[in-house]
Chains A and B, each alone.
Chain A
């Protein structure tokens, strides 16, 4: 079963607006990662936030983590048409690389 759930499932915004998507997970984590997937392609790693961090920035991306609520959010500022993709959060079970991915948020940015 999947570890995480993203919310909303789909999001449609105008270019230049901000996009916020949320992720909830079930068990304790060492870190949480966000990935992007363009249609028909593989996933691309965006950002990693460790369990002892509350916020992290990378370019137009801002990620927050609330371990007490077992939730994370990804904010994309000043969105572009090229940001159109599905976004997934991922957590890891144990010490290996067994990732659990959320259900994903499908983001459409309208030019």
Chain B
């Protein structure tokens, strides 16, 4: 079974631009979560999608948005990029929602803002 796939692996953008990151979960997984990882703040939860609906949202500005499609694939969009948005963005999937579900992570998209 293929793992969680994130594309692209690396991305370089300039301030003010926008970016869309993609995540394909493990086949059959319906919950997709996004995290931002930086050296200073560590791993921070962005949002979670389940059955095409955003179920939970972290403490990030409205420039960060996402969506989930009927096949459970998810995209994350960041508009008006700032230098501080440089980070590793990780996507994780699990079968369902619920506190006993381990998360399966992709290898992330490394976003660099110039």
Q: What bracket does the count of chain A residues touching chain B fall in? A: 20 to 34
Q: Is the CB of B100 within 8 A of A101?
A: no
User: How many B residues face the partner with a CB closer than 8 A?
Assistant: 29
Q: Is the CB of A92 within 8 A of B107?
A: no
Q: Is the CB of B100 within 8 A of A98?
A: no
CA distance A50 to B75 in the complex (A): 32
Q: B61 near A: Cβ within 8 Å?
A: no
Q: Is the CB of B100 within 8 A of A97?
A: no
Q: Which of B41, B42, B56, B90 has the most CB of A within 10 A?
A: B42
User: Which A residues lie within 8 Å of B63 (CB)?
Assistant: none
CA distance A41 to B106 in the complex (A): 8
**Given contacts A99-B33, A101-B42, A40 and B48 within 8 Å (CB-CB):** no
Q: Is the CB of A97 within 8 A of B90?
A: no
Q: Is the CB of B45 within 8 A of A48?
A: no
Contact with A along B41-82 (1 / 0, CB 8 A): 111110010100001101000000000000000000000000
A42-B107, A92-B99, A97-B50 known; 5 new pairs, CB 8 Å cut-off, are A30-B99, A40-B107, A42-B106, A43-B90, A45-B104
Q: What residues of chain A have their CB less than 8 Å away from a CB belonging to chain B? A: 2, 30-31, 33, 35, 40-45, 48, 50, 88, 90, 92, 94-104
Top 8 A-B pairs ranked by shortest CB distance? A42-B105, A101-B43, A45-B102, A30-B99, A98-B56, A43-B105, A96-B56, A42-B107
What are some 6 contacts across the A-B interface (CB < 8 A)? A42-B106, A48-B100, A97-B103, A99-B45, A103-B42, A104-B42
Q: What residues of chain B have their CB less than 8 Å away from a CB belonging to chain A? A: 4, 31, 33, 35, 41-45, 48, 50, 55-56, 58, 90, 92, 94, 97-108
